[in-house]
């Protein structure tokens, strides 16, 4: 017991889930819906059951957005559906469940499943190989038409042929194109046209309809008859969106019966123009592909050169050389700094010596003395000029100048200027200022 590994519950569920998902992968199955729940998150949870069993299922909102059912946007309990799902396990509860990726109505879904299965089978047999396709004749004079003689398809084909090239002859090989007897009629008509060898090309088709209506053209016998035809066959079944297995087996597919008539009524000029256009498109595509491959090659070569050992070694050598050069430069700078250091210190010492300082101060004193002398001289000159100017102004307003012209100035003993007789009395002493001197007098 001690040598046996004991599993945890989570380990067991993880291993079972891995086995289920890796072994079964994707499965198709049909069943009846029950216990349907549309969660607020947008996910669907339901059970699929038949008469004996049921299984829990989940369909996440990323997948269920694409579901289109006859009942509307949501499935209904009791509805029969066909689903494609992955087998899985919900680990938190250990529940076996299916993760649904695709859902459709069981009726249409079964037909589509048969369609896909038969398509894979016939493709494996090489019936759809492009290498076996027969080209259309360059000149078409007679066209065979395998379809219902009373349907809209034959009328459309004849109308287009008459409009585009009235000289083309049309032979109708009547056949049922819907129902359980249609496949036998279609096969017989194709074989009859090949046996009679009356036409250059054969158009096999009908108008549009549902998948059930177009189903005869998905029958294996019809596909084999088209593939085995010696005449080139153009498949023209339904509308452009409709695709049948006959389309894959035919030598050429037309989206509609009218389009098939246009294909067989093309003249040589249209064909050559089409070939020229296709040739240009092919050349442009090849040039673009070649340019893309050339660019990709250059890109890969560039990446390869970057990771190549020689390239890496060169890069490392270059880095080493750069570091060596930087180291040498740094060492040279340090050596130069060391060599110049004594000279720099000596210059700094000389600049700081007492004699140098005294000499500098003496020069500064001399310069200041010269500047003071110059300033004093300028000041004296300026003051002298101002004094002379003031003397001139004083002389202009001086009373002496007036006195020199015969006038005089009289003052009392208190030296007050006398301008009126009433300012003196008899016996007062006065002084009279003349131009050349002063006279002292007494009032009588």
CA torsion sign for 147, 121, 86, 31 is positive
Query: How many other CB atoms sit within 10 Å of the CB of residue 122?
Result: 18
Specify the DSSP element, H or E, that contains 145: strand 142-147
- pLDDT tens sequence for the chain (444 residues): 556 678 777 788 788 777 876 777 788 888 888 999 999 898 999 999 988 889 999 999 888 888 887 666 788 888 888 888 988 888 888 788 888 998 887 766 666 777 788 888 888 989 889 888 999 988 889 999 999 999 889 999 999 988 888 889 999 999 999 888 898 999 999 999 999 999 999 999 898 877 778 889 988 999 999 999 999 999 999 887 778 888 999 999 998 999 999 888 865 456 567 788 888 899 998 988 888 888 888 778 767 766 667 666 766 777 777 788 889 889 888 888 887 777 777 777 776 667 777 878 888 888 988 899 899 999 999 988 898 888 888 877 777 667 777 778 888 888 888 888 888 888 888 988 887 888 999 888
3-state secondary structure of 248: helix
**Residue of 151, 234, 144 whose CA lies nearest to 189:** 144
CA gap 66, 126 in Å, rounded: 33
CA gap 148, 172 in Å, rounded: 9
pLDDT of residue 110: 64
pLDDT of residue 272: 64
pLDDT of residue 357: 74
Specify the DSSP element, H or E, that contains 315: helix 309-352
CB proximity list for 211: less than 8 A, separation 6 or greater:
108, 111, 112
Tokens 């059930």 locate to 212
Take residue 273 and report the two structure tokens written for it: 């123009």
Sheet containing 233-237: which strands, arranged edge to edge?
Answer: 169-174, 142-147, 201-206, 233-237, 252-253
Q: Which CATH superfamily includes the segment(s) 9-109?
A: Nucleic acid-binding proteins (2.40.50.140)
pLDDT of residue 13: 78
How far lies 148's CA from each of 172, 174, 250, 313, in Å? Answer: 9, 5, 19, 79
CB proximity list for 105: less than 8 A, separation 6 or greater:
69, 70, 79, 80, 81, 82
Asked if residue 62 lies in contact with residue 74, where contact means CB atoms within 8 angstroms, the answer is no
Rg of the chain on CA atoms, in Å:
61
Q: What is the pTM of this model?
A: 0.42
Tokens 């005089």 locate to 408
3-state secondary structure of 261: helix
pLDDT of residue 36: 92
Take residue 235 and report the two structure tokens written for it: 């498949």
Residue count of the chain, please give it.
444
Report strand pairing: 201-206 vs 142-147.
Answer: parallel
Asked if residue 236 lies in contact with residue 204, where contact means CB atoms within 8 angstroms, the answer is yes
3-state secondary structure of 92: coil
Q: Return left, alpha or beta for 190; rule: phi > 0 is left, psi -120 to 50 is alpha, else beta.
A: alpha
CATH architecture of 125-129+140-266: 3-Layer(aba) Sandwich (3.40)
Asked if residue 32 lies in contact with residue 49, where contact means CB atoms within 8 angstroms, the answer is yes
CA gap 259, 252 in Å, rounded: 11
CB proximity list for 13: less than 8 A, separation 6 or greater:
89, 91, 94
CA gap 129, 250 in Å, rounded: 10
Buried b / exposed e along 254-267 (16+ C-beta atoms within 10 A) = bbbbbbbbbbbbbe
Specify the DSSP element, H or E, that contains 80: strand 80-90
**Residue of 229, 292, 233 whose CA lies nearest to 263:** 233
Take residue 270 and report the two structure tokens written for it: 């249209």
């Amino acid at each position: 017991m001690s040598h046996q590994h004991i599993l945890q519950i989570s380990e067991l569920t993880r291993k079972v889930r891995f086995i289920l998902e890796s072994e079964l992968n994707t499965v198709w199955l049909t069943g009846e819906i029950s216990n349907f729940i549309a969660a607020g998150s947008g996910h669907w949870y339901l059970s699929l059951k038949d008469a004996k069993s049921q299984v829990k299922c989940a369909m996440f909102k990323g997948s269920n957005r694409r579901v289109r059912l006859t009942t509307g946007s949501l499935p209904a309990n009791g509805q029969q559906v066909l689903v494609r799902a992955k087998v899985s396990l919900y680990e938190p509860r250990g529940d076996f469940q299916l993760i649904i990726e695709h859902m459709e109505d069981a009726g249409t879904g079964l037909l589509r499943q048969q369609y896909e299965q038969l398509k894979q089978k016939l493709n494996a047999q090489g019936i759809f190989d492009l290498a076996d396709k027969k080209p259309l004749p360059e000149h078409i004079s007679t066209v065979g038409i395998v379809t219902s003689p009373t349907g809209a398809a034959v009328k459309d084909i004849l109308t287009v042929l008459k409009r585009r090239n009235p000289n083309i002859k049309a032979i109708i090989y009547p056949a049922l194109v819907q129902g359980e007897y249609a496949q036998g009629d279609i096969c017989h008509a194709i074989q009859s046209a090949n046996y009679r060898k009356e036409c250059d090309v054969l158009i096999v088709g009908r108008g549009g309809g549902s998948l059930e209506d177009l189903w005869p053209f998905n029958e294996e016998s019809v596909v084999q008859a088209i593939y085995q035809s010696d005449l080139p066959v153009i498949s023209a079944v339904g509308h452009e969106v409709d695709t049948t297995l006959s389309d894959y087996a035919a030598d050429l597919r037309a989206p509609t019966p009218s389009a098939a008539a246009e294909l067989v009524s093309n003249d040589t000029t249209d064909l050559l123009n089409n070939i020229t256009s296709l040739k240009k498109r092919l050349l442009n595509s090849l040039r673009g592909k070649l340019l893309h491959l050339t660019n990709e090659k250059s890109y890969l070569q560039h990446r390869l050169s970057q990771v190549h050992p020689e390239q890496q070694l060169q890069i490392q050598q270059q880095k080493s050389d750069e570091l060596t050069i930087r180291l040498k430069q740094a060492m040279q700078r340090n050596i130069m700094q060391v060599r110049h250091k004594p000279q720099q210190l000596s210059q700094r010492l000389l600049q700081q010596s007492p004699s140098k300082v005294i000499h500098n101060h003496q020069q500064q004193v001399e310069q200041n003395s010269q500047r003071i002398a110059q300033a004093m001289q300028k000041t004296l000159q300026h003051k002298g000029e101002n004094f002379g100017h003031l003397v001139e102004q004083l002389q202009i307003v001086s009373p002496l100048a007036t006195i020199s012209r015969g006038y005089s100035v009289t003052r009392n003993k208190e030296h007050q200027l006398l301008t009126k007789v009433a300012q003196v009395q008899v016996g007062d002493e006065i002084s009279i200022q003349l131009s050349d001197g002063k006279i002292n007098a007494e009032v009588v």
